[in-house]
Amino acid sequence: MTPESLFDALSDYLDEGWLRPLDLALARLLLEQEPDTPAQVLLAAVWASHQLGRGHLCLDIEQLLNLPQQVLALPPEGRKPAQLPLPSSLMAQWSPESWLPALARAAVVSVDGQDQDHSRPLVLSQGRLYLRRYFRYECQVAEGLAARLMPLAVDAKALRCQLESLFAPLKSETEQQGSEVHWQSVAAALACRSRFTVISGGPGTGKTTTVVRLLAALQQLAMDSGAALRIKLAAPTGKAAARLSESLSGALSQLPEPLAAAIPTQVSTLHRLLGSRPDSRQFKHHQGNPMHLDLLVVDEASMVDLEMMAALLAALPPQARLILLGDKDQLASVEAGAVLGDLCEQAAKPRYWPATTDYLHSHSGYQLQAWQGPGTALEQQIALLRKSHRFDANSGIGHLAQAVNEGQPEQANALWHRGWRDLQQRRLTGAEDTYLERLCIEGEGETGEAHRRVLEEGRSPQGYGHYLSLMHQGGDALNQRAQQCQAPEQWQMLFTSQEQWIKELLKAFGEFQLLCAVRDGDYGVSGLNRRIASALCRRGLISQDSGWYAGRPVILSRNDYSLKLMNGDVGLCLPVWDEQGQRRLRVAFLTPEGGIKTVMPSRLSSVETVYAMTVHKSQGSEFAHTAMVLPASDSPILTRELVYTGITRARHWFTLLTPTPRLFAAAIGRRTVRASGLSQRLASLTPP
pLDDT digits (tens, 9 = 90+) for 175-220: 544 457 888 889 999 999 899 999 999 888 889 889 988 998 898 8
224 burial via Cβ count (<10 Å: 0-12, 13-18, 19+): exposed
pLDDT in tens, 314-327: 999 999 999 999 99
Sheet holding 623-629, edge to edge: 423-427, 650-658, 623-629, 512-516, 612-614
Mean pLDDT of all residues belonging to the chain: 88
Which stretch of 307-316, 324-333, 429-438, 649-658 has the lowest confidence by average pLDDT? 429-438
Which stretch of 399-403, 418-422, 499-503 has the lowest confidence by average pLDDT? 418-422
Q: How far is CA 461 from CA 185, 452, 466, 550, in A?
A: 35, 10, 10, 23
pLDDT in tens, 349-376: 889 999 999 999 888 888 888 899 998 9
pLDDT for 452: 47
pLDDT in tens, 269-287: 898 899 888 777 889 999 9
| Residue 206 counted as an annotated binding residue | yes
Q: State the average pLDDT over residues 406-417.
A: 89
pLDDT surpassing 50 at residue 451: no
Q: State the average pLDDT over residues 120-142.
A: 95
For residue 2, give the 3-state DSSP assignment: coil
pLDDT surpassing 70 at residue 158: yes
* Confidence tier at 448 by pLDDT (50, 70, 90): very low
pLDDT in tens, 512-529: 999 999 888 888 899 999
Q: What is the pTM of this model?
A: 0.86
571 touches 591 (CB < 8 A): no
* Confidence tier at 640 by pLDDT (50, 70, 90): very high
| Residue 204 counted as an annotated binding residue | yes
| Residue 144 counted as an annotated binding residue | no
| Residue 207 counted as an annotated binding residue | yes
For residue 629, give the 3-state DSSP assignment: strand
pLDDT for 561: 77
What's the CA gap between 570 and 563, in Å, rounded?
Answer: 14
264 or 78, higher pLDDT: 264
| Residue 419 counted as an annotated binding residue | no
Residues in a beta bridge with 322:
196, 296
| Residues whose CB is less than 8 angstroms from the CB of residue 465 and which lie 6 or more positions away in sequence, other chains included | 441, 442, 443, 536, 539, 541
pLDDT for 173: 55
pLDDT surpassing 80 at residue 301: yes
- The structural domains of the chain, ordered by start, are 3-125 (1.10.10.1020), 145-390 (3.40.50.300), 396-669 (3.40.50.300)
Closest CA to 383 of 561, 190, 513: 190
| Residue 201 counted as an annotated binding residue | yes
Q: State the average pLDDT over residues 399-419.
A: 89
| Residue 205 counted as an annotated binding residue | yes
pLDDT surpassing 50 at residue 500: yes
pLDDT surpassing 90 at residue 485: no
